């Protein structure tokens, strides 16, 4: 059958709407939820918020977990309802979760994990993540890995953490790819394997995870798990730095300061150090202080040097206190 004929046989949006509406009115619960979504999105019918909520609620009250999730999210974010209502959202998330919906289990788990909208309950978060993860939800698998890695809601178990990170990583979750890569490098919860670790970190970096791009740049710079390649390292540092990743901005500053892989430029070094320093990144604040103290790339200015040393120390860098003390002794 030609593509043209296939297209001509495809029902129109209006025809699909009419068919779904007839099924919903006949009592089909799934169709009721679908009809609500069609009204919500204006597919095959003029958008109608009141009708959207009416049909989604009807399906939710009849026990459809997907409709219950849809209703929960509308109350959670105050969309298509009179006002945001967190307690009503939690009620419907819970009903959906109890009905086995993995997305509801994950989202309710996140609410308990964060504790910023409802009372924090890490054990309940862990339970919900477990239910969702067992059904294959990669985001829940990633969070379950975090729980085991950090001992949140459960006793710390790096072997279990690695297991769940791997399951999520294999489904393409970049956070789990990054976490699994680090565990493989450290040999924690898994047998140490730097090449495999670098591979997973690269996969996360390819998905634009800035911390993974920064670390992958480090691996290339020092030849850990991959062949040493300073130019590739710089390329990854620049990708991360473009996302305001302070570690990569700091690394680029160091490379320009010392002329490693690039033409030496104190001015460029200062520029990169400053970008990281204004984000509160203590090592860059120390380096920027040094540049002011030495007059490299900027006019020599010990007042500015003292300011950045003090900022670095306030942000937890002990060696900045030594630099500040030495600067005071020189005055």
Q: What is the pLDDT of residues 232-258, one digit of tens each?
A: 999 999 999 999 999 999 999 999 999
Write the pLDDT tens digit of every residue in 59-118. 999 999 999 999 999 999 999 999 999 999 999 999 999 999 999 999 999 999 999 999
* Alpha carbons 214 and 217: distance in angstroms, whole number: 5
* Alpha carbons 128 and 135: distance in angstroms, whole number: 11
* Alpha carbons 106 and 302: distance in angstroms, whole number: 52
* Alpha carbons 22 and 45: distance in angstroms, whole number: 14
pTM, 2 dp? 0.90
Q: What six digits make up the tokens of 269?
A: 């070094």
Q: Determine the straight-line distance between the first and last CA of the chain, rounded to whole angstroms.
A: 87
CB 178 within 8 A of CB 200: yes
* pLDDT grade for 1, boundaries at 50, 70 and 90: very low
Q: Domain map of the chain by residue range?
A: 7-99
Tell whether domain 7-99 is in CATH 3.40.50.150: no
**Per-residue model confidence (pLDDT) at position 220:** 98
CB 68 within 8 A of CB 44: no
What residues contact 133, with CB distance under 8 A and at least 6 apart?
A: 140, 141, 143, 144, 164, 167
Write the pLDDT tens digit of every residue in 131-178. 999 999 999 999 999 999 999 999 999 999 999 999 999 999 999 999
Write the pLDDT tens digit of every residue in 253-292. 999 999 999 999 999 999 999 999 999 999 999 999 999 9
**Per-residue model confidence (pLDDT) at position 247:** 98
Q: Give the Å distances, CA to CA, from 254 to 192, 197, 263, 297, 311.
A: 29, 25, 12, 13, 19
Query: What letter would DSSP give residue 85?
Result: -
């Amino acid at each position: 059958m030609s593509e043209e004929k296939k297209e001509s046989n495809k029902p129109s949006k209006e025809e699909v709407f009419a068919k779904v509406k007839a099924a919903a009115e006949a009592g089909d619960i799934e169709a009721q939820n679908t009809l609500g979504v069609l009204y919500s999105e204006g597919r095959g019918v003029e958008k109608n918020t009141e009708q959207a909520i009416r049909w989604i609620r009807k399906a939710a009250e009849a026990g459809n977990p997907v409709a219950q999730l849809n209703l929960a999210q509308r109350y959670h974010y105050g969309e298509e309802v009179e006002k945001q209502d967190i307690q009503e959202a939690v009620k419907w998330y819970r009903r959906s979760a109890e009905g086995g919906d993995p997305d509801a289990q994950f989202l309710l788990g996140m609410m308990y994990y964060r504790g910023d909208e409802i009372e924090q309950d890490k054990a309940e978060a862990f339970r919900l993540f477990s239910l969702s993860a067992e059904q294959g939800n990669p985001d829940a698998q990633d969070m379950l890995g975090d729980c085991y890695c950090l001992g949140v809601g459960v006793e710390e178990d790096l072997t279990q953490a690695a297991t769940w990170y791997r399951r999520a990583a294999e489904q393409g979750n970049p956070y789990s790819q990054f976490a699994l890569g680090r565990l493989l490098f450290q040999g924690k919860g898994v047998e140490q394997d730097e090449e495999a670790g670098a591979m997973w970190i690269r996969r996360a970096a390819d998905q634009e995870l800035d911390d993974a791009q920064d670390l992958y740049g480090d691996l290339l710079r020092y030849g850990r798990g991959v062949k040493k390649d300073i130019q590739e390292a710089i390329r990854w540092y620049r990708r991360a730095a473009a996302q305001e990743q302070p570690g990569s901005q700091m690394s680029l500053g160091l490379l320009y300061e010392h002329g490693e892989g690039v033409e030496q430029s104190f001015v460029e070094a200062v520029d990169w150090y400053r970008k990281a320093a204004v984000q509160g990144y203590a090592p860059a604040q120390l380096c920027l202080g040094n540049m002011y103290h030495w007059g490299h790339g900027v006019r020599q200015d010990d007042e500015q040097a003292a300011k950045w040393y003090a900022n670095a120390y306030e942000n937890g860098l002990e060696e900045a206190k030594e630099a500040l003390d030495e600067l005071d002794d020189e005055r």
